[in-house]
Amino acid sequence: MQKVDITKMNENVFTKIGKQWMLIGATKGEKSNAMTASWGGLGIMWGKEVAYIFIRDSRYTKELVDGSDKISVSFMPEDKKNVLAYMGKASGRYEDKITKSNLHMIEGYDIPVFEESELTLICKKLYAQDMKAECFIDEAQIEKWYGDNDYHTMYVVEILEALEK
Ligand SMILES: Cc1cc2nc3c(=O)[nH]c(=O)nc-3n(C[C@H](O)[C@H](O)[C@H](O)COP(=O)(O)O)c2cc1C
């Protein structure tokens, strides 16, 4: 893994997040877990390079994210798409997804940094806000996405380090 300057990334962020997908990883105490995410963004906030992450209330990963200061955002190679599909369906609440998917966490980090990841962002939480029905300007989104009341929390996280394989 080598450190790279994330501002020099010249890939299309819509493809990277929306089509390649990412893994949101977190560790709380002895527990590490990761889940697939394809909604979010990369940008600038408060003069810092940040990622915007959206995690629904029901996700086990949310418990770990809320219980730690840092998270990782990992982009996997195309041949790990099946792993991402699994990580986006099973829950770490019931099984050890990282072991089952044969991903390897690199030692020495306090959050999941995977050997298999092409690009890993080590991030520090700056801001978290629960989405609420009354805040939607386009109310059609409530019916479309939140019929079960399982709202997202938005996290703005500072990208402290970008590591490339
Ligand atoms: C392609 C894809 C994208 C997803 N994007 C998100 C997302 O952005 N936010 C979210 O909360 N869940 C998202 N999910 C669902 C979670 O990954 C899924 O519920 C997962 O099982 C949660 O795992 P956990 O309980 O171990 O945290 C996505 C799933 C897939 C397959």
Residue 40 is part of a domain; what is its CATH number?
2.30.110.10
Burial class of residue 97 in the structure, from the number of CB atoms within 10 Å of its CB (0-12 exposed, 13-18 middle, 19+ buried): buried
Predicted local confidence at residue 83, as pLDDT: 98
Distance 26 CA to ligand 1 centre (A): 14
Question: Among the atoms of ligand 1, which is closest to the Cα of residue 97?
Answer: 26
Query: Would you place residue 38 in the very low, low, confident or very high pLDDT band (cuts 50, 70, 90)?
Result: very high
Nearest to 123 by CA among 163, 59, 78, 73: 73
Q: What is the mean pLDDT of residues 86-110?
A: 97
Residue 126: CB partners within 8 Å, gap ≥ 6?
45, 46, 48, 50, 156, 157, 158
Query: Would you place residue 39 in the very low, low, confident or very high pLDDT band (cuts 50, 70, 90)?
Result: very high
Distance 85 CA to ligand 1 centre (A): 9
Query: Would you place residue 84 in the very low, low, confident or very high pLDDT band (cuts 50, 70, 90)?
Result: very high
Do residues 149 and 58 touch, judged by C-beta distance below 8 A?
A: no
Query: Would you place residue 143 in the very low, low, confident or very high pLDDT band (cuts 50, 70, 90)?
Result: very high
Residue nearest to atom 7 of ligand 1 (CA): 37
Query: Would you place residue 157 in the very low, low, confident or very high pLDDT band (cuts 50, 70, 90)?
Result: very high
Does the Cβ of 61 fall within 6 Å of ligand 1?
A: yes
Domain holding 30, by residue range, is: 2-164
148: left (phi over 0), alpha (psi -120 to 50) or beta: alpha
- Give percent of the chain with pLDDT exceeding 90: 99
Query: What's the whole-number average pLDDT of the chain?
Result: 97
- Give percent of the chain with pLDDT exceeding 70: 100
Quote the pTM value: 0.97
What's the structural domain count of the chain? 1
